[in-house]
Amino acid sequence: MELEGETISLMLHRSLHNKRIHVPVFFSILLCLLSACSEQDKVDIRSVLDARDAAVSNHDIKSYAGLLISGYEYNNQTEFEIINKMRGLFNQFEKIEMTSDNRTIRLLDDQHAECEQSYLLHVQANGEWRQINQRERISLTKTDSGWKISGGL
């Protein structure tokens, strides 16, 4: 990948040095650069969503709260209400196992994304296991500290 970056950089430098940029070459370079950014963003978003699964499975409210954008508000539910709802879930069930799959991530622009995914929630209460399988759409926003969940919970 580094070799490709060096080649692209060299091509762009030569074109600029010669004061002539071939439009198709320029757009090819731009597309390559944007595509690489898009893929890295998707990798980062998957990490956030996987961290959410882990936080729920481990009853880790601090990690869960850290995944939400500061000032989260969606469908009349604030960050505070979402965190309290999750605390209630942790208190209600002895064990929780959350897994997500069948993800589709769409980058809406360089700061916003949307993920549709299915999740399976296994919960244990009074020694009895139950499960919930649902589809969800989560909004994410890129901040200075990385991607954060900004809607859909």
Mention every residue, 6+ apart, whose C-beta is less than 8 A from residue 137: 114, 115, 116, 152
pTM, whole model, 2 decimals?
0.75
Pairing verdict, β 77-78 and 73-74: antiparallel
**pLDDT of the chain, 153 residues: tens digit per residue:** 444 444 444 444 555 555 555 555 444 444 444 444 589 999 999 999 999 999 999 999 999 999 999 999 999 999 999 999 999 999 999 999 999 999 999 999 999 999 999 999 999 988 899 999 999 999 999 999 999 999 998
CA distance 8 to 147: 28
- Check if the beta carbon of residue 96 is closer than 8 Å to that of residue 57: yes
